[in-house]
Structure formats: structure tokens, C-alpha cells
Amino acid sequence: MQVQRLKAIGLPLAIALLTVVYAFGVLNIRSQFDEGLVGPQFLPTVLVLLSLAMCAVIALRDIRKLDTSSEPAQQADADTRALQLRTAGLFVAIVAFIATFKPLGYAASTTAFSWVVLWLFSFGVGQPALRAAVAVAVSAAGYALFALAFGAHIPLGPEAF
């Protein structure tokens, strides 16, 4: 049972450790002037907190599932493996989003990232137009929040850099 617990929390723990390393990098971001609440550290800090919280939720859920599961060990292993693949896919999507943000700009990278996340969580299965519309809506809402509400400059395309 201990080995299954370690398997269940292995990937969330690895992602949490990478997030902590990223958090130390976020602490080194400095602004040349005071921007109030929304400065260059704001969004990365929010992402760090969300990532750590989600890793904890996933790890606790997997441990509870192992403790209360009456399924055969093979089915539990298959479910754990599927969850680990989804978590790894989400991690790869985040890395790809970060890597493509500057070359593609906000609009393309955020819409693609949103679409991939919706696909990973099986939203709009068999309805690609719905999935695309929600991805565009998420991107537009994010732009409205940061560019309009907070006054933060967000480059829509690569030419803005």
C-alpha cells in the first residue's frame, strides 16, 4: 500500500518541486517602478499558488482514493496512470504556453493553451466548435482582466514585443 501511495503522489510531488524552483525565480523579478498590486511578479505568483494548490489537491485525492478503494489493484493502477498522464500533459501544456508566449503573442498562445486544457479535461468531446469558442472566450476574458481592468500591457501578437 505504501508503494501505491508513493506512485500516486510521485508526479504531483515532482511538479510541486519544479513549481517551488520556479517560485524562487519569480522572487527575483524586479520592477523599475512601483506598479501597485499588479506588477511583474503578480501573475507568476498567482500561477505558483494555483499550481501548488492543485498538486496538493491531486495528491490528497489520489491517497484518499487508494484508502477507500475496493477496486482491484490493477484498476486502481490504471486510474492512477491515466491521472498521471493527464497531469503530465497539463505540465507540458504549461511549458509550451510559456515557450510560445513571446513568439506567438497572447492571443494565439493563450487560445491554444486553453484549447489543450479543455481537451485534457474532456470538455466539449465531439463538439470542437464549442471547445474552440470556450478557448477564445477564456483568452478574451484573460485579456480583459489584465489589459483593461489592471492596465497591464499584454502583447496580442509577436510584433508587440
Q: Are 148 and 140 in contact (CB under 8 A)?
A: no
Domain ranges of the chain: 1-83, 105-161
Q: Phi first, then psi: give them for residue 127, nearest 5 degrees.
A: -130, 70
| Per-residue model confidence as pLDDT tens digits over 99-118 | 998 899 899 999 999 999 99
pLDDT on residue 69? 60
Q: Phi first, then psi: give them for residue 159, nearest 5 degrees.
A: -70, -15
Q: Kind and range of the H or E element at 80?
A: helix 73-104
pLDDT grade for 1, boundaries at 50, 70 and 90: low
Mean pLDDT of all residues in 8-36: 80
b/e 117-131 (16+ beta carbons within 10 angstroms → b)? bbbbeeebeeeeeeb
Using DSSP's 3-state secondary structure scheme, residue 32 falls into: coil
| Per-residue model confidence as pLDDT tens digits over 47-106 | 889 999 988 888 888 788 776 765 566 666 677 777 778 888 888 999 999 999 889 989
113 compared with 32, residue with greater pLDDT: 113
Tell me the percentage of the chain whose pLDDT exceeds 90.
20
CA dihedral 105, 107, 108, 109 (to 10 degrees): 70
| Per-residue model confidence as pLDDT tens digits over 120-145 | 888 878 899 999 999 999 999 988 88
